[in-house]
Chain A
Amino acid sequence: MSNKTDMNEVMAILRPFGITRVLKVDTEFRLDENFRQHVVCIVAHECPDGRTCRIWLDDEQAESFELPCDEGTLWVSYVATAELRSMLALGRQLPKRVLDLYVENRWLHNLQESNDERHRKKEEKFFGLTATLRRFGCDSMGAEEKDEMRELILRGGPYTEQQKIAIADYCESDVIALDALLPKMLPIIDIPHAIARGSYVIETARIEDRGVPIDVAKLESIRARRDELILYLISQHPHIDVYDGKTFNQKKFETFLVRNGLAERWRKTHTGMYTSEDSYMEEMGQYFPLIEELRQLKKVVLQLQRDRFQAGFDHRARCPIWSFSSITGRNQPSAGDKQKKGIRSESPYVFGLPKALRFLIRPAPGMALAYIDWEQQEFAIAALMSGDKEMIRAYKTGNPFLALAKKRGEVPHSATKNTHPVEHEKYKAVVHGLNYGRTKHGLSRVLGLPVEECSKLLRGYWKTFSTYAEWRTTVRTLMFGHGTLWVWDGWQCLLGDKPNVRSVLNWPVQSTGAVLLRLAIVLAARKGVRIIAPVHDAILIEARDEDIEEHVRLAIEAMDEACRAVLGDVIRTECQIIRADGRYFDKKGKKLWDDICEFMGWDDSTSSAEQCHPSSQKSTCAPAQVSAVAANQQPNEVLNTFHRG
Chain B
Amino acid sequence: MSEHLEKTLMEFCEMESTDNGQPNPEHSEARSIDSTPNRELASSPKPAPVDPFDPMHLGISTDYAAAISVAAATKPFELRKPNDQEYFRTSPHKHQRLIVGGITDKQDMSKLYVVSPVVLDEVKAWFAKHVRAFELVLTQTIAGAGFLWHVPLAEDRGGRWNSQQRAGCNQGETRWTNMASGRGQYDIKTIDNPKQASWESFPPMSDMLRQALSDGRLVDSLDHQLLKKLRGEIE
Per the bound structure, the CA–CA distance linking A642 and B141 in Å amounts to: 58
Q: Which residues of B contact A481 (CB under 8 A)?
A: 68, 141-145
B19 CB to nearest chain A CB (Å): 31
Contact B55 A199 (CB under 8 A): yes
B75 nearest CB neighbor, chain A only: A482
Also in contact, A17 and B52, with CB within 8 A (given A474-B195, A478-B64): yes
Answer whether A477 and B142 are a contact pair too, CB < 8 Å, given A482-B71, A488-B60, A490-B60: yes
Which residue of A is nearest B54, CB measured? A196
Q: A474-B68, A523-B56 are in contact. List 18 more A-B contacts (CB 8 A).
A: A195-B53, A385-B62, A469-B194, A470-B194, A473-B194, A474-B64, A474-B65, A481-B68, A481-B141, A481-B144, A482-B68, A482-B71, A482-B143, A486-B39, A487-B62, A489-B55, A508-B62, A518-B55
Contact partner of B58 (CB less than 8 A), chosen from A17, A193, A478, is: A193
Distance in Å: Cβ of A436 to nearest Cβ of chain B: 19
0/1 per residue, B180-198, Cβ < 8 Å to A? Answer: 0000000000000111100
Please measure, in the bound complex, the distance between the C-alpha atom of A478 and the C-alpha atom of B61, giving whole angstroms: 14
A121 CB to closest chain B CB (Å) equals 26
A residues 502-548 near B (Cβ < 8 Å) are 508, 512, 518-519, 522-523
Q: Are B68 and A478 in contact (CB under 8 A)?
A: yes
Contacts A475-B64, A488-B42: A565 and B59 contacting too (C-beta < 8 A)?
A: yes
Cβ of A490: which chain B residues have Cβ within 8 Å of it? 39, 58, 60
B68 near A477 with CB under 8 A, answer yes
CB neighbours of B39 from chain A (8 A): 486, 490
* Set of chain B residues within 8 Å of A480, measured between Cβ atoms: 143
Could you mark each residue 152-194 of chain B with 1 if its beta carbon is under 8 Å from any beta carbon of chain A, else 0? 0000000000000000000000000000000000000000011
4 interchain residue pairs of minimum CB distance: A481-B143, A195-B53, A196-B55, A474-B64
Q: With an 8 A cutoff between CB atoms, is B15 at the interface?
A: no
Q: How far apart are the CA atoms of A477 and B197 in the complex, in Å?
A: 13
Question: B99 in the interface, Cβ–Cβ < 8 Å?
Answer: no
A566 within 8 A of B: yes
Are the CB atoms of A473 and B143 closer together than 8 Å? no
Supply 23 A–B pairs (Cβ within 8 Å), ascending by A: A17-B53, A192-B53, A196-B53, A198-B53, A199-B55, A466-B194, A469-B194, A473-B194, A473-B195, A475-B64, A477-B68, A477-B144, A478-B68, A482-B143, A485-B64, A486-B60, A486-B62, A488-B42, A488-B59, A489-B59, A489-B60, A490-B39, A565-B59
Measured between alpha carbons, how far is A192 from B42 in the docked complex, in Å?
15
> Could you say which of B52, B67, B141, B193 contacts A18, with CB atoms under 8 Å apart?
B52
C-alpha gap A490/B57 in the complex (Å): 12
From 4 to 32 in chain A, residues with beta carbon under 8 angstroms from any chain B beta carbon are 17-18
Q: In the complex the two chains form, what is the Cα distance from A18 to B196 in whole Å?
A: 45
Q: B142: which A residues are within 8 A, CB to CB?
A: 477, 481
CB < 8 Å neighbour of B195 from A198, A470, A482, A489 = A470
Q: Taking the complex as formed, is A316 at the interface, i.e. its CB lies under 8 A from any CB of chain B?
A: no
Query: Could you tell me the distance in whole angstroms from the C-beta of B49 to the nearest C-beta in chain A?
Result: 10
Residues of A within 8 A of B58 (CB): 192-193, 196, 489-490
Task: For B56, list chain A residues within 8 Å (CB).
Answer: 519, 523, 561, 565
A256 at the interface (CB under 8 A from B): no
Question: Is A298 at the interface (CB under 8 A from chain B)?
Answer: no
Task: Give the chain A neighbours of B141 by CB distance below 8 A.
Answer: 481
Q: Which residue numbers of A lie inside 8 Å of B, CB to CB?
A: 17-18, 97, 192-193, 195-196, 198-200, 385, 466, 469-471, 473-475, 477-478, 480-482, 485-490, 508, 512, 518-519, 522-523, 561, 565-566
Q: List B contacts of A522 (CB < 8 A).
A: 55
- What's the nearest-Cβ distance from chain A to residue B66, in Å? 10
- CA–CA, A208 to B11, complex, Å? 70
- By a CB distance below 8 angstroms, the chain A residues around B59 are 488-489, 565-566
Which of B42, B52, B54, B67 counts the most A-chain CB atoms under 10 A from its CB? B52
Partner of B55, one of A473, A487, A519: A519
Q: Which residue of B lies closest to A98 (CB)?
A: B53
CB closest chain-B residue, reference A195: B53
Residues of chain A within 8 A (CB-CB) of B60 are 486, 488-490
| A512 / chain B contacts, CB cutoff of 8 Å | 62
Chain B, Cβ-Cβ closest to A472: B194
Q: Give the docked Cα–Cα distance between A465 and B69 (Å).
A: 23
Most A-side CB within 10 Å, residue of B39, B55, B62, B195? B55
CA distance A522 to B62 in the complex (A): 21
Q: Which residues of B contact A385 (CB under 8 A)?
A: 62
Closest to A492 in B: B39
Contacts of A488 in B (CB 8 A): 42, 59-60, 62
Question: Using Cβ atoms and an 8 Å threshold, which residues of chain B touch A485?
Answer: 64
Q: Could you mark each residue 57-92 of chain B with 1 if its beta carbon is under 8 Å from any beta carbon of chain A, else 0?
A: 011101011011001000000000000000000000
Chain A residues near B144 (CB, 8 Å)? 477, 481
How many angstroms from the CA of A195 to the CA of B51 in the assembled complex?
A: 11
Measured between C-beta atoms, what is the minimum distance from A424 to chain B in Å?
A: 28
B195 touches A97 (CB 8 A): no
* Smallest CB separation, B52 vs chain A (Å): 6
By a CB distance below 8 angstroms, the chain A residues around B143 are 477, 480-482
Minimum distance in angstroms from A535 CB to a CB of chain B: 20
Which chain A residues lie closer than 8 Å to B53 at the CB level?
A: 17, 97, 192, 195-196, 198-199
Chain A residue numbers with a CB within 8 Å of B71 are: 482
**Considering only CB atoms, which chain A residue lies closest to B67 in the complex?**
A478
Residues of A within 8 A of B65 (CB): 471, 474
Taking a contact as CB atoms under 8 Å apart, the answer to whether A473 and B193 are in contact is yes
* B67 CB, min distance to chain A CBs, angstroms: 7
What is the 8 Å Cβ interface bit string for chain B, positions 18-58, against chain A (1 contact, 0 not)? 00000000000000000000010010000000001111101
Give CA–CA (A508, B62) in the complex, Å. 9
A561 contact set on B, CB distance < 8 A: 56
Shortest Cβ distance from residue A422 to the other chain B in the assembled complex, whole angstroms: 31
* Alpha-carbon separation in the docked complex, A349 to B196 (Å): 46
- Chain B positions within 8 Å of A482 at CB level: 67-68, 71, 143
Residues of A within 8 A of B194 (CB): 466, 469-470, 473
Specify which of A477, A489, A490, A508 lies most central, judged by the most chain B CB atoms within 10 Å of its CB: A477
Report the Cα distance A183→B26, complex, angstroms: 47
CA distance A375 to B68 in the complex (A): 31
Task: Tell me whether A471 and B52 are in contact (CB under 8 A).
Answer: no
Chain A residues lying within 8 Å of B68, measured Cβ to Cβ, are 474, 477-478, 481-482
Residues of B within 8 A of A475 (CB): 64
Distance in Å from the Cβ of B36 to the closest Cβ of chain A? 15
| B75 nearest CB across to chain A (Å) | 10
Minimum CB–CB distance for B17 against chain A, Å: 33
Tell me the smallest distance from the CB of A327 to a CB of chain B, in Å: 17
How many angstroms between the C-alpha atoms of A17 and B53 in the bound complex? 9
Q: Look across to chain B and name the residue whose beta carbon is closest to the beta carbon of A466.
A: B194
Distance in Å: Cβ of A26 to nearest Cβ of chain B: 23
How distant is the Cα of A192 from the Cα of B52 in the complex, in angstroms?
A: 7
